Structure 1
């Protein structure tokens, strides 16, 4: 029995559901940001930066703007001094959480032993 593929032969990857999903969550930090927001609910910029650790201020700002533009996160700005901004997942972003959880589970189940380690 042959299964249909998400990336049919001869079709440009970017014109598939798979390519579209990758365009939204691909890259080094987007899935991490989404996962952190899924775990915490609401986070501020510096909280996200501290929890990720290896991301620069500018890169985090760019990633947050892209995720907001794609409708995956909500940016809520509070009119006060100093300015306060909070980020959370949108309904669309929350719909990705099962996918992120499945990826995590797959990684745990399929992790190869580290090179040089003894089994």
Structure 2
């Protein structure tokens, strides 16, 4: 085994074998880090899993389903997920206001990844 074969970045499936493929500005590490930032925080994963279970939800449903989240925090987290293109906000333009949230195509494509992470956790119970 050569030194290149023994390194972690050599094992990551990418189109080219150069070090930058993993560690460069546009490498694997940068992309995974960006996604982890999008979903990090106490409330984003509960919001995403609720939207995966229910295709469309109103703020009041989130507040009932996610204990201890405040309206302010829910709004902040939904806006962040919307800015990242994971959640879409639909305003019906009605009075009283009616707004619903749903996963975008990108959000739906993220869910199998999160389900795989869940299964990884179930199979590897060690650590915290």
Report the TM-score when normalising by structure 2.
Answer: 0.75
If asked which structure has higher relative contact order (CA below 8 Å, sep 6+), I would say 1
RMSD after superposition: 2.5
Q: What is the distance in 2 between the residues matched to 1:36 and 1:109?
A: 23
Q: Higher strand share goes to which structure?
A: 1
Dislocated runs of 4+, deviation >4 Å: none
Q: Does 2:57 correspond to 1:43?
A: yes
SS in structure 2 of the partner of residue 65 of structure 1:
helix
Q: Which runs of 5+ in 2 are unaligned?
A: 13-18
Larger radius of gyration between Structure 1 and Structure 2 = 2
Q: What is the distance in 1 between the residues matched to 2:69 and 2:122?
A: 24
Q: Give the Å deviation of 1:109.
A: 2.1
Q: Which runs of 5+ in 1 are unaligned?
A: 113-119
Q: Higher helix share goes to which structure?
A: 2
For residues 25-44 of structure 1, what are the structure 2 equivalents within 5 Å? 25-44=39-58
SS in structure 2 of the partner of residue 28 of structure 1:
coil
